[in-house]
Structure formats: C-alpha cells, structure tokens
C-alpha cells in the first residue's frame, strides 16, 4: 500500500498509538474460582479488576442474568505498553487476528506463562483474553457528542499499518 508501512515510519498525525488494552478472564461462575481469577489479573496487570456479569440467562450452563462470571482490567498509556511488552512474546500473532480498523485480540492459554506467576495446584490454571485498541490522532472526531464527523478513509487505521506498528514497537513477528 503506502511506503510508510514498509519502513514503519509514520507522519506524526498518522502514527498509531494504543488507546487501551482490555485483559479479560471468563471464569463462568462466582465464588472462589472468580476470586482466584481476580487475584491473578491483579498480579499480572498491576491494577484492580472489575467483575463482569452475565447479560442473559443460560440454563445449559446454570447461569442466570446478573451472575458474576468473569473479571476484566482496562489498561491505558504506559501500563498498556508495559503489559504488551510482557504478553506479546508469549503468543504467536497472525494478521488474521487484526480487524479492519487495526484492533487485534489474542489469548494467553495459561496464566503461568507470565514471569510473575507460578503454578499452584490449589488454584489451577486460568487463561486470559487480551484485546488491543489502536487509534490514530484525531479519532475522537468520530466519538465526540457534539459535531461528530466520520473519519476519512485515508486516515483510518488499516491492518497493514497496525501490523507494522506492532512489529516495530514491540519487536514481534506477525505471521501473514
């Protein structure tokens, strides 16, 4: 596409940045398992977690609407970058994990892969889902309440630019 994706050098108003990173752990039930999951999330991310609840009743899984079933943490700025520097080397990224607007998600199968975590037979093993939201400067134009406007197609973040940003910033290889 453009020459800026090949070298990874972007104009300052086209330089992608991390808006937020959401780390989610779906446990499926409350109680001790959820408390363990929240503790693991806090240790891995360095922030307190927020409980997530079921949006609808699922009788097959014995879950009622409003039951606590998971926990999540939203990281921004330096915290988000530090977490990604730790988490990205643990996984293999593929270009298919990126959406049309440059956001991407990946999973970490075992929390014990993080350097600060060790296996404890009384706790077990938990997996994490990580969603990364990338934006360019000026994206807020589409989100603001007053005088919102669509982002021009030439300024929208695409898969190629997002992959180049992730590869250059975090020194990881994204499979094509």
CB 159 within 8 A of CB 102: yes
Average per-residue pLDDT in the chain?
82
Exposure b/e, 60-84, CB count within 10 A at least 16 = b: eeebeeebbbbbbbbbeeebbbebb
Tell whether the model's pLDDT for residue 8 goes beyond 60. Answer: no
pLDDT in tens, 117-157: 878 777 788 888 899 999 888 776 677 778 877 777 777 78
By DSSP bridging, strand 174-175 and strand 93-94 are: parallel
pLDDT at 73: 93
pLDDT in tens, 81-122: 998 888 888 888 888 888 888 889 998 888 877 877 878 777
């Amino acid at each position: 596409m453009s020459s800026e994706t090949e070298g990874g050098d972007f104009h300052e108003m086209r330089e992608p940045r991390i808006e937020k990173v959401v780390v989610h752990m779906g446990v499926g039930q409350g109680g001790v398992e959820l408390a363990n999951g929240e503790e693991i999330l806090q240790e891995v991310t360095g922030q307190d977690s927020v409980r997530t609840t079921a949006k609808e009743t699922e009788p097959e899984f014995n879950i009622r609407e409003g039951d606590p079933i998971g926990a999540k943490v939203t990281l921004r700025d330096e915290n988000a970058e530090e977490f990604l520097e730790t988490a990205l080397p643990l996984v293999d990224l593929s270009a298919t994990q990126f959406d049309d607007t440059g956001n991407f998600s990946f999973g970490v199968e075992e929390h014990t892969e993080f350097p600060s975590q060790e296996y404890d037979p009384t706790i077990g093993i938990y997996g994490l889902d990580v969603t990364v939201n990338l934006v360019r400067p000026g994206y807020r134009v589409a989100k603001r309440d007053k005088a919102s406007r669509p982002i021009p197609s030439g300024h929208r973040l695409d898969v190629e630019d997002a992959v180049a940003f992730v590869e250059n910033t975090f020194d990881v290889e994204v499979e094509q």
